Amino acid sequence: MPLMKCRKKSKSGWKFGKKGKCYIGLGAREKAAKQGRAIKWRQSLR
């Protein structure tokens, strides 16, 4: 799942995949990428 653009309260932001949290503001893309790494790490443990 890639990083995707999203909207929250009429502001643009970033999220990981279709169900990830939408991060807005400074560092939003980095936060979404960090969430994506955590998800992939968790899936690798299965």
Q: What torsion do the CA atoms of 29, 35, 41, 44 make, to the nearest 10 degrees?
A: -100
**What is the pLDDT, as a whole number, of residue 17?**
94
Q: pLDDT tens, 1-46? A: 799 999 999 999 999 999 889 999 999 999 999 999 999 999 999 8
Domain residue limits at 12: 3-44
- Total count of domains within the chain: 1
Cα distance between the two ends of the chain: 18
Cα 43 to Cα 22: distance, rounded to the nearest angstrom: 21
Whole-prediction pTM: 0.84
